[in-house]
Amino acid sequence: MLAIYKRELYSYFTSPIGYLFVAILWAASGLAFSFFTFLAGQDANISSYFTSELIILMFVTPILTMKSFSEDRKLKTEQLILTSPVSLPGFVVAKFLSSYTLLGGTFIIVNCINLPIMFSYLSDQPLVVYNAVTALGSCVAVLLVGAAFISVGLLISSLTENQIISALGTLIILAALLGASMLNSKIGFAPLRAVLRWLSIYSRFSAFTQGYFDFASLIYYASFAAVCLFVTVRVYEKRRWA
């Protein structure tokens, strides 16, 4: 498992994909950050910043996951991995962890730079302590949503050997997951609205940016990721037993 994890991380940086991912995430976060602090003046707030981080992640996650399983399938290297003494869950988890290391690592580094600047800028505001705690809570939430996003990407990637389909499919599903709550008010049928709100990644997330640390949502994100990874394992099992 460790071998696959190391090789995956290594392969991100022997192809443009890893650099592309880090560059786009970093640049877009920087833009969003400037936009919601320096350029916002009196209206500077961390809620909009973290919401935009979520939308940025929606766009960059497919870059990270598009080749995960697709490429192994195309190169037939999955035959090597699946005939080696590594278990199927180990294989899937190793892929997940390598993508997650890159996503989480970049996010943490970017915010280690962004957030101190933000607080020094906001230090004359009365709510600075409240803001600091909210920011930390939001960071935790973004990291968990990132895990959920990656696991969706891995699941889609395991279904196709075409990287473009894998990336587009992931993007569409992530957009649908985020968009579900935005369309919510347009739906007349109340029970459906309730289910969608419960499922929606976005409406759960906005609570964090308002300073409300919701453990139930954290568990929701983690189980969302776990279910996707489990289904990915099943996809491979299914193919073996077909």
Partner 1 sequence: MLKVENLVKKFGDKYAVNDISFSINKGEVVGLLGPNGSGKTTTMNIITGFLSYTSGSVTINGYEILENPSEAKRNIGYLPDQPPLYPEMTVKEYLNFVYDLKGCTLNRKKHIMEICEITKTVDIRDRLIRNLSKGFYQRVGIAQALVGNPKIILLDEPTVGLDPKQIIEIRSLIRGLGRDHTVIISTHILSEVQAVCDRILIMNKGRLAADERTDELTKLMEGTKRVLAQICGSKKTILESLRALDGVSYVESSKEIPGTDATLFKIESNNGSDIRKKIFEMCAEKNMPIIGMELASASLEDVFLNITREKQTASRKTKKTSKIR
Q: Considering only CA atoms, which of 214, 208, 215 is closest in space to residue 47?
A: 208
Separation CA 149–CA 201 (nearest Å): 10
Binding mask 65-104 for partner 1 (x = CB under 8 A): ----------xxxxxxxxxxxxx-----------------
Binding mask 138-157 for partner 1 (x = CB under 8 A): --------------------
DSSP for 78-116, written as a single string: HHHHHTTT--HHHHHHHHHHHHHHHHHHHHHHHHHHHHH
- Answer whether 145's CB lies under 8 Å from 181's CB: no
For residues 3 and 31, which CB has a smaller minimum distance to partner 1 in the complex? 3
Instruction: Specify the 3-state DSSP secondary structure of 212.
Output: coil
Separation CA 96–CA 230 (nearest Å): 12
Contact call for residue 15 and partner 1 (CB under 8 A)? yes
Residue 23 Cβ vs partner 1, minimum distance, rounded to whole Å: 19
- Among the listed ranges 9-17, 30-38, 131-139, 141-149, the one in contact with partner 1 (CB under 8 A) is 9-17
Contact call for residue 7 and partner 1 (CB under 8 A)? yes
- Which residues bind to partner 1, rule: CB under 8 A? 2-4, 6-7, 10-11, 14-15, 75-87, 240-242
